[in-house]
Structure 1
Amino acid sequence: MTRQLALSLTVRPALGREDFFVTGANAIALAEIDRWQDWPQGKLALTGPEGSGKTHLAHVWAAASGARITAAADLPGRDLPPERTAMAVENVDRIGGDAAAEEALFHLHNHLLATGGRLLVTGREAPARWPLALPDLMSRMQATAIARIEPPDDALLAALLVKLFTDRQIPPAPRLIDWLVPRIERSAGYAGRLVAMIDQMALESRRAIGPALAAEAMERLAA
């Protein structure tokens, strides 16, 4: 158990631009991130399924713009930033009903846009489907331009699997990636859970990571 915990702590996702694999599923979203100085009203909503790369793109944008990154749920109690600040607020779709977080985002939104800043917000669905309770915040989110990351195609799913294994310091064999791509759920979130399960099972059983172990991990996740 100690060895397993020690190894799990070495998981450090690579979030640089050079680590972002571009395909048809995310190229439009990346192009919108690159034109951040020209966002309508100075804001953009980045949407996409769980694990699709929203956080990665937020870090790419932060590196280019100097933006600060925070979770929407962590906004209450924070001071408003200086003028012309760029900020990325993640998981806005998860604060519905949290009055303090919604009000904090509302004031941050107005402050940034009034002082020449930039605001990136993220969520799984389009802002119109975010369960926000504050009407003024909801109207401002619905008026935000959207860039969507689509579910991964084969090329992106293969690259994602390689990255997930590499983040865990596991050099994946090409034959394993080729075996997994046509067999797994077309979801970045599922890919992350599967790689974590494969890693855990390999540590527990001291078996080599290959198709046989991957198949057992898929069965365990399905149970």
Structure 2
Amino acid sequence: MVQAPQIPFDFFAPTPASFDSFVVGDNAEVVTSLYALTDRASPVKPPPAVAIWGGPTVGKSHLLAATAAATNADNPGAAVLLAAGDAFPADPFVSARLICVDDADRLTAAQQGWLFTAFNHIVPSGGTVVVSGRTPPAQWPLRDDLRTRLGSGLIFELVAIPQDALPGALVEHAARRGFQLSDEVLTYILSRSRRDVASLWQIVNGIDALSLARKRAVTVPLLREYLARNNLSDSGASEV
């Protein structure tokens, strides 16, 4: 009986979210603004809030995680990273100077109360609350006093990477994982898969792991098998 291949320890495991691994595209202004928040020595007074909004898979969660990670790199505990689905800390009087809340447009009533108190605690001392949501913050179904505060600083729409930039971004991502995408494999991925960064990254990571398990090069037949086994092929994707 032939056993399915064991996926080995992935020594090219994805690194934590960072600004370096974010495909900027047309989002340079928001990336620059978030990165500036991580610089403790900056003479510029930080805004009370930064709200980013956009559709699914444009990278909102990535950027919030990158902002928190960069802030904590030199000063552990300086940033708190939360999401609407998380259990929030019991005490809103946190010592952090940066609070990042993903999916803030989905907060429960209790979470809204926590964030309201935390906002009023850290902002007077120069702290910032960074939040994300699917629509502009003025449309978020939150209590009025919190929604007003979250919209009182910078507001950015995060947009998807341009389609013509996807090939280069995929090649760079594969190179960071230690292998080269051939033109044939690249064309097959882009013509048979969903064309958003999150989905494409998942495919590159998965085919890399499968090629290591099989001890085979990344080829179209191997890619076709991976897509079929994981139901990742998008029949509606357009040819390139």
Q: Any residues of structure 2 matched to 1:5-16 within 5 Å, and which?
A: 6-7=8-9, 11-16=13-18
Q: Name the SS for the 1:7 alignment partner.
A: coil
Give the drift of 1:101.
1.6
Relative to 1, partners in 2 of residues 1:210 and 1:49: Cα closer, same or farther, differing over 3 Å? farther
Range moving further from structure 2, 47-56 or 104-113: 47-56
Identity of aligned residues (%): 25
Give the drift of 1:166.
5.6
Relative to 1, partners in 2 of residues 1:192 and 1:33: Cα closer, same or farther, differing over 3 Å? same
Q: Paired residue for 2:189? A: 180
Q: Name the SS for the 1:221 alignment partner.
A: coil
Q: Paired residue for 2:51? A: 45
Q: Paired residue for 2:125? A: 115
Give the whole-Å Cα distance in 1 for the aligned partners of 2:133 and 2:126.
Answer: 23
Give the drift of 1:217.
4.2
Range moving further from structure 2, 6-15 or 112-121: 6-15
Q: Paired residue for 1:210? A: 219
Relative to 1, partners in 2 of residues 1:206 and 1:89: Cα closer, same or farther, differing over 3 Å? same
Give the whole-Å Cα distance in 2 for the aligned partners of 1:31 and 1:105.
Answer: 25
Give the whole-Å Cα distance in 2 for the aligned partners of 1:156 and 1:80.
Answer: 43
Contact 2:193 2:232 in 1 (8 A): no
Give the whole-Å Cα distance in 2 for the aligned partners of 1:8 and 1:50.
Answer: 27
Q: Name the SS for the 1:189 alignment partner.
A: helix
AA aligned opposite 1:136 = D
Give the whole-Å Cα distance in 2 for the aligned partners of 1:69 and 1:162.
Answer: 33
Larger radius of gyration: 2
Q: Paired residue for 1:171? A: 179
Question: Which of 138, 152, 156 is equivalent to 1:128?
Answer: 138
Give the whole-Å Cα distance in 1 for the aligned partners of 2:172 and 2:99.
Answer: 26
TM-score (structure 1 length as normaliser): 0.72
TM-score (structure 2 length as normaliser): 0.68
Relative to 1, partners in 2 of residues 1:125 and 1:214: Cα closer, same or farther, differing over 3 Å? farther
Say yes or no: does 1:92 pair with 2:101.
no
Give the whole-Å Cα distance in 1 for the aligned partners of 2:226 and 2:152.
Answer: 43
Contact 1:162 1:172 in 2 (8 A): yes
AA aligned opposite 1:122 = S
Q: Unaligned stretches of 5+ in structure 2?
A: 38-43, 235-240
Q: Paired residue for 1:191? A: 200
Q: Paired residue for 2:114? A: 104
**What's the CA shift string for 1:162-211, capped at 9, x where partnerless?**
465467x4523242335434554332232234335535654676653223
AA aligned opposite 1:158 = P
Question: Which of 83, 93, 116 is equivalent to 1:80?
Answer: 93
Contact 1:15 1:59 in 2 (8 A): yes
CA RMSD in angstroms, aligned pairs only: 3.6
Relative to 1, partners in 2 of residues 1:108 and 1:79: Cα closer, same or farther, differing over 3 Å? closer
Give the whole-Å Cα distance in 1 for the aligned partners of 2:71 and 2:12.
Answer: 26
Relative to 1, partners in 2 of residues 1:60 and 1:189: Cα closer, same or farther, differing over 3 Å? closer
Give the whole-Å Cα distance in 1 for the aligned partners of 2:103 and 2:65.
Answer: 14
Range moving further from structure 2, 121-130 or 101-110: 121-130
Give the drift of 1:22.
3.4
Give the drift of 1:68.
0.8
**What's the CA shift string for 1:14-66, capped at 9, x where partnerless?**
5344444433x2212223324544554x2101233444333443355442685
Give the whole-Å Cα distance in 2 for the aligned partners of 1:29 and 1:174.
Answer: 33
